[in-house]
Amino acid sequence: DTEVTQTPKHLVMGMTNKKSLKCEQHMGHRAMYWYKQKAKKPPELMFVYSYEKLSINESVPSRFSPECPNSSLLNLHLHALQPEDSALYLCASSQGPVAYEQYFGPGTRLTVT
């Protein structure tokens, strides 16, 4: 099973809202990632969790807050977003933090109004 699940599939939120994106994998992977993807562009890395510890923060604004409650779950908490934050948010996991291929979830399409 190489499945990564993400909820919700679509999310529309106002600039004052607080919402969360969720990601889950049951492959025993020890690294999980959040990416942001704009239309017709490659994914941009936002956060990396390695063995449930945040290891890379690619200078992402503080209105994005990641959380890794356990080795299977990854959340992305959203607060006071801007319209330019509208994008596809992809979660991925890999067996380890280096070298291995990453498996992606279907993504959450976020629209900020």
Which residues neighbour 57 within 8 Å (Cβ) at sequence distance 6 or greater?
Answer: 46, 47
Enumerate the β-bridge partners of residue 90.
Answer: 35
Across the beta sheet with 18-25, the strand order is 4-7, 18-25, 73-79, 64-70
Q: Does 104 bind other proteins (CB under 8 A)?
A: yes
Instruction: Please give the size of the binding site for other proteins, defined by CB under 8 A.
Output: 23
Q: Does 80 bind other proteins (CB under 8 A)?
A: no
Q: Does 40 bind other proteins (CB under 8 A)?
A: yes
Looking at the Cβ atoms of 12 and 15, the one nearer to other proteins is 12
CB of residue 108 to other proteins, shortest distance in Å: 10
Enumerate the β-bridge partners of residue 12.
Answer: 111
Enumerate the β-bridge partners of residue 15.
Answer: none
Looking at the Cβ atoms of 28 and 42, the one nearer to other proteins is 42
Q: Does 59 bind other proteins (CB under 8 A)?
A: no
Q: Does 105 bind other proteins (CB under 8 A)?
A: yes
| Residues 96, 48: Cα–Cα separation, whole Å | 11
Interface positions with other proteins (CB under 8 A): 33, 40-43, 45, 48, 56, 88, 90, 92, 97-107, 109
